[in-house]
Structure 1
Amino acid sequence: MRTSLDSIADLPEAARLRLSFDPDKLQRDVDQLSERTRGAQRSVVGGGDLTPFTKIGWRFLALRSLGGDPDRTDAGGPGIEGFADTPWIRHTPYLAEVLASLPTELRSARLTSLAPGVTVPEHRDTPTGLPYGLIRVHVPIRTNLGAVLSIDEVEHRWQPGTLWYGDFSRLHSVTNTGDQARIHLVIDCSVSPELLSLFPEQFQSRVPMSEVAYSRPEIPLQAFELADFRCEVPVPPCMLRLDDQAVESAEPDLLAQVIEHEGTLVLKVSGGPSIALVHVGGGDFRFQGWTEERGVHLDFFGDSPRAVFYTRCGRRRQQITRTAALPQS
């Protein structure tokens, strides 16, 4: 039987969106930045740790990052802090306008520079895509005929000033056989109806809306509510690994507490990360710095207080339930 996720897989691998920008202004902003300011690429792995810097000629400069840290060149992951502009944004006023023009909650935004003669091998970026509530868009700034992006074996040569979506959950690679660096502004976005409206109408008409993980806005808790959610709870380790789904296993749980910290709730994992919890309604919390793809529902009614950890791909939701221990009154 055909499913809606099959329809997602059948969508085009890329689409040009209905915004465009001034190539000369883009280039002028980039010229304000020295090549030595660009850091090497890093990625987030299980538990929020960062991989070592890459050693190939693929350089990144963060305009937005977790906590506004200019040294965070990764795409981000669950943690205490949300995304914010880095100090570099003050040097790139037009790029700041570009970011502000996108009608959605922005996550990371990075300038990427691929040196001549460098190839980024075929890989997938997961979990990204409409079913996970996180899409990646590109604004090319400097390119050449030898700079080629391949997605699902389809070659692309995106031109400066255009805005493109790519489904980078599919196999893709980049190569630059030209004589100058290929520079793109790469923006990770939460999915909103307004952002999806920028896609070509033909693309929009084929999207199964039930499979899109639209971002829910934060609904801040009142100060007097915070104590209602304090607890001790075991956390399945799979919830801390972004490539893993919520599936029961023989792996032992991690001891954690939900505590109050500076006016918000934090899931503090013993010997692991601390993750702020963003309330999105009805006792549902997504992890700060992450998307609708995973979170926890805290249900303390009845005789068995519980935490329901969940992961999501489109309308498919997998969950693991753990008994919570409430503070003694």
Structure 2
Amino acid sequence: MATIQSYRFQHRSHHQEIDMKYFKRIKSEIDPTPFLEEIQGVTGAWNVATGRQDKIPVQREAKAIPLRGLRKSAIGDRKRRDVHESRWTTGSKQYPVACAFLEAFAAEQDSILGRAKIVCLPAGKRVYPHIDRGDYYRVRNRYHFVLTSTHGSWMKAGDEEVRMQQGELWWFDNDQMHEANNDGDQDRIHMIFDMLPSARAGDVFGSAA
């Protein structure tokens, strides 16, 4: 199993050369092989959880492996998009490499992990334009780690467009209207996750922080 320390030192930081408002490349040249091998080693990995395509219209063409989800016991009278508490899913135990990566990056960024998933967008499919609304999203940073992409993963946020390359880790502003399209001929697989800066924990969780 990969350790937190190994990820911290193997990944090389890489600043985005272009001044963009809604996208920033954080790292590049991360080897996706161990993550992909881990997914391939789980039988029926993409068929266990279908909530993304069944319940979220703009995400209906995507498949997902949930690693971290909202803590259902904390919902109370709030809408799901306003629930800050999260936890590892039962299925996450089958993906120790991915979980170690998330923990290492959160420690490196002095942040608290939120929800996380591995998402597959098949060739010719898209994620339709939307804004991630709710209190949960307003205080967190959204990241995409590209595991596979034929000739770059096209995304648009606001009036900006990028092509994220395999092995790159990006931040982007999901407060903006955004969309994605797989115009390649192979599956596009990303690890998508949210993090709360530790400095804001008290504002979000109060004394429980």
TM over 0.5: yes
Q: Offset at 1:106?
A: 0.9
Distance in 1, Cα, partners of 2:91 & 2:72: 10
Superposed, 1:58-207 pairs within 5 Å as 58-67=62-71, 76-78=80-82, 82-101=85-104, 102-103=106-107, 104-127=111-134, 132-145=138-151, 147-192=153-198
1:16 corresponds to 2:25 = yes
Alpha-carbon distance between aligned partners in 1 of 2:87 and 2:143, rounded to the nearest angstrom: 18
> Which SS does the other structure have where 1:157 is aligned?
strand
Out of 26, 41, 50, the residue aligned to residue 39 of structure 1 is 50
Seen in structure 2, the aligned counterparts of structure 1 residues 158 and 128 have a Cα distance that, compared at 3 Å, is farther
String of CA shifts for 1:134-167, please: whole Å, max 9, x gaps.
Answer: 1111111111126411122322221233221001
**Aligned partner of residue 161 in structure 2, secondary structure:** strand
Q: CA deviation at 1:128?
A: 7.4
The structure-2 alpha-carbon separation of the partners of 1:40 and 1:146, relative to structure 1 and needing over 3 Å to count, comes to farther
The offset of 1:175, in angstroms, is: 0.6
- Residues 104-132 of structure 1 deviation map (CA, whole Å, 9 limit, x = unaligned): 111110111111111222222234799x3
Rounded Cα–Cα distance in structure 2 between residues aligned with 1:57 and 1:36: 13
Larger radius of gyration: 1
Conserved in 2, the CA contact under 8 Å of 1:133 and 1:215? no
Please tell me whether residue 52 in structure 1 is matched to residue 55 in structure 2.
yes
Q: Distance in 1 between matches of 2:72 and 2:87?
A: 4
CA 1:127 to 1:78, structure 2 compared with 1: closer, same or farther past 3 Å? closer
After superposition, the Cα gap between the structure-2 partners of 1:98 and 1:179, relative to the gap in structure 1 and judged at 3 Å, is same
User: With structure 2 as the length reference, what TM-score do the two structures score?
Assistant: 0.71
CA RMSD of aligned residues (A): 3.3
Whole-angstrom CA distance in 2 between matches of 1:128 and 1:164: 22
- C-alpha distance in 2 between matches for 1:20 and 1:86: 28
Greater per-residue strand proportion: 1
SS in 2 for 1:65: strand
Mapped contact 2:81–2:136 kept (Cα < 8 A): no
The 3-state SS of whatever aligns with 1:57 is coil
Moved over 6 A (4+): none
Structure 2 distance, partners of 1:142, 1:31, is 13
Deviation, 1:172, is: 1.4
- Give the distance between the partners of 2:62 and 2:99, measured in 1 at CA: 23
Contact 1:128 1:134 in 2 (8 A): no
Distance 2:146 2:29 in 1: 10
Q: TM-score, normalised by structure 1?
A: 0.47
Contact 2:153 2:165 survives alignment (8 Å): no
Q: Any stretches of 5+ residues in structure 1 without a counterpart? A: 1-9, 43-50, 70-75, 194-213, 219-277, 287-329
Amino acid at match of 1:85: W
- 1:26 equivalent in structure 2: 35
User: 2:190 aligned with 1:215, yes or no?
Assistant: no
Q: 1:56 to 1:150 in 2, by over 3 A?
A: same
Q: Deviations over 1:237-281 (max 9, x none)?
A: xxxxxxxxxxxxxxxxxxxxxxxxxxxxxxxxxxxxxxxxx433x
Q: Matches of 1:127 and 1:68 in 2, distance apart?
A: 16
